[in-house]
Amino acid sequence: MKKHLILFFAGVILSYGNIKAQTVPDKKEILKVTLHVNDYFMKKYADYRTPSFVKKVVRPSNIWTRSVYYEGLMALYSIYPADEYYLYAKEWADYHQWGFHRGTTTRNADNYCASQIYLDLYNICPDPEKIRKTKANMDMLVNTPQINDWWWIDAIQMGMPIFAKMGKLTGEQKYFDKMWDMYEYTRNKHGENGMFNVKEGLWWRDHNFDPPYKEPNGKNCYWSRGNGWVYAALVRVMNEIPSDEKHRQDYINDFMAMSKALKQCQREDGFWNVSLHDPSNFGGKETSGTALFVYGMAWGIRNGLLDKKTYLPVIIKAWNAMVKDAVHPNGFLGYVQGTGKEPKDSQPVTYDKIPDFEDFGTGCFLLAGSEIYKLDLHI
């Protein structure tokens, strides 16, 4: 017994020392830098109607990239409810008539991702018209037999939380059931044996990257932001579903396995590489994946799933690294990998390079900042 007590207190002292080695960020500073990054984006993209023109393709501003930004903005609104934030989101939704790129018949999660924002806005100020198209789209997905729509893991974050939000709002189990069926298919059946490697606690981006595909160092290819999308999706789902939902423990198990795996591959400087198991393959700091991991771990600690003394040093180290090395004086975020599906895409990723889309990286950072702000940062 005495030996166990000594080991326990030694662990506490070590964890405390790890945290003290990193400066614990001040709450006011966390909020200040999060607001600063958002202000940069809102000023630069003040006209929310403007479509993007990337690689000679015009895309409306309600596709997944902008929707992820608004996910972050709504999280920020939950801790700092400035009227201009609500109006920036509501007027964007009004402009797009609370609908989607390619309409309510779309099965592509990148298109209906905007529903996450429409549901959040509806919950603030209920009006059935705000979610009429969202409900129509979700009911179409529920009422048709296909469960293989999420063939790339990014889609799990774009689509899965909508089912959770609809289930919570309506009290109808059918949304939770369909969500599980689609998630389970991607997890266990897509490709040869599913996209989740249970042994390593991480996800292949799609079937093109599962074995025998290997990274240059011979290890499995786990793309940072892709895993960040799944990690964030699990958080956003668990935040909505009831405690007795029949698959809640399954989601918790995957979240815990991912948390352990992610902790093990954090860089010494606090960031994560774009390739989680091969730092030699376009290695270097990357902000969007790092921010999503901070978001998930902070939520996990706050909700009692992750051991605080184990994971708090991880997120403090990562947050401090992003603030110190990625946030520019004007609020621009550096080291954000642009759109793609693997480490080599949108390279080089540097401090000064503007990614092809600035919105989703900003959204990831706002999610991280808003969640770490809610956390007690002391043991």
- Selected residue with higher pLDDT from 217 and 17: 217
Q: Which residues neighbour 294 within 8 Å (Cβ) at sequence distance 6 or greater?
A: 315, 318, 319, 322, 368, 371, 372
Residue 20: what pLDDT?
Answer: 52
The share of the chain scoring above pLDDT 90, in percent, equals 92
275 neighbors 222 (Cβ within 8 angstroms): yes
Per-residue confidence band for 55, with pLDDT thresholds at 50, 70 and 90: confident
Q: What is the pTM of this model?
A: 0.94
Name the average pLDDT for the chain: 95
Q: Residue 2: is its pLDDT beyond 60?
A: no
Q: Nearest 5°: phi and psi at 225?
A: -65, -35
Task: Report CA-CA distances (Å) from 353 to 299, 332, 335, 346, 356.
Answer: 30, 10, 7, 10, 9
Region 102-124: mean pLDDT is 98
Residue 19: what pLDDT?
Answer: 55
Residue 56: what pLDDT?
Answer: 87
Q: Residue 16: is its pLDDT beyond 80?
A: no
Region 102-117: mean pLDDT is 98
Per-residue confidence band for 21, with pLDDT thresholds at 50, 70 and 90: low
Class of 27-374 in CATH: mainly alpha
The share of the chain scoring above pLDDT 70, in percent, equals 94
Per-residue confidence band for 107, with pLDDT thresholds at 50, 70 and 90: very high
Q: Residue 9: is its pLDDT beyond 70?
A: no
Per-residue confidence band for 18, with pLDDT thresholds at 50, 70 and 90: low
Residue 22: what pLDDT?
Answer: 78
The partner residues of 275 in beta bridges, in order of sequence, read 223
Give pLDDT tens digits for 195-237.
999 999 999 999 999 999 999 999 999 999 999 999 999 999 9
